[in-house]
Amino acid sequence: MASLFAWNQTSEEFKAQITGKLLGDGSLTQQRDRKPRFQFTHMAKDYEWSLFCYLKLRTHLRLNPPRFRKTWDSRLKKGYFTAYYTQSKTSDLTTSLRNAWYNKSPLFYLKSILQLRRWHGDIWMMII
C-alpha cells in the first residue's frame, strides 16, 4: 500500500510533530470526490509560530506557505479575526494520515501519543 509506505518513510520527529498538530490546531479535510489535505491555522499575532511549523512540516508534506485570512464574525467585539492558515497539497501521505486518524484505530492514537511524548521529552533533555 503506497500510502502506508509514505507514512513509514517519515522520521520519528515528523510523526511527533504531525501528531501534535492533529491533536491541537491541525486537521485533515476532504472535499467530496477529492483527496484529503492537511491544514492548520494560527492567529495573526502568532505568525512566527505558524512559519516555524510550516518550515518543520514541509520536509515531508507539500505545504503552501502561511496565508493571511480575515474572517468576519459578528460574535466578536471587533467583528472579525485575523489568522494565518497553511494547507497541504494532496499526497499519499495525507491520504494515509486521514485513513489512520479517521478510522479511529485506538492503537494508532496510542502510538502517536507515545511518539509525541518521546519527542517532547528529547527536546526538554536538550534544553536542561
- In angstroms, the CA 51 to CA 80 distance is 22
Tell me the Cα Rg of the chain.
Answer: 16
First to last CA, the chain: 41
Per-domain boundaries in the chain: 2-127
Is residue 8 a contact partner of residue 97, using CB atoms and an 8 Å limit?
Answer: no
User: pTM of the predicted model, to two decimals?
Assistant: 0.74
Instruction: Write out residues in the chain with pLDDT < 50, as ranges.
Output: 1-2, 120, 122-128
Could you please state the CATH topology (level 3) that the domain comprising 2-127 is classified under. Endonuclease I-creI (3.10.28)
**pLDDT (tens digit per residue) in 82-119:** 999 999 999 988 988 888 777 655 565 566 666 655 55
Compute the distance between CA of residue 104 and CA of residue 106 in angstroms, rounded to an integer.
6
Q: What is the dihedral of CA 63, 65, 66, 72, to 10 degrees?
A: -90
Residue 104: what pLDDT?
Answer: 59
Q: What pLDDT was estimated at residue 10?
A: 83
Helices 12-23, 92-102: axis angle to 10 degrees equals 60
Burial classification of residue 55, based on how many CB atoms lie within 10 Å of its CB (0-12 exposed, 13-18 middle, 19 or more buried): exposed
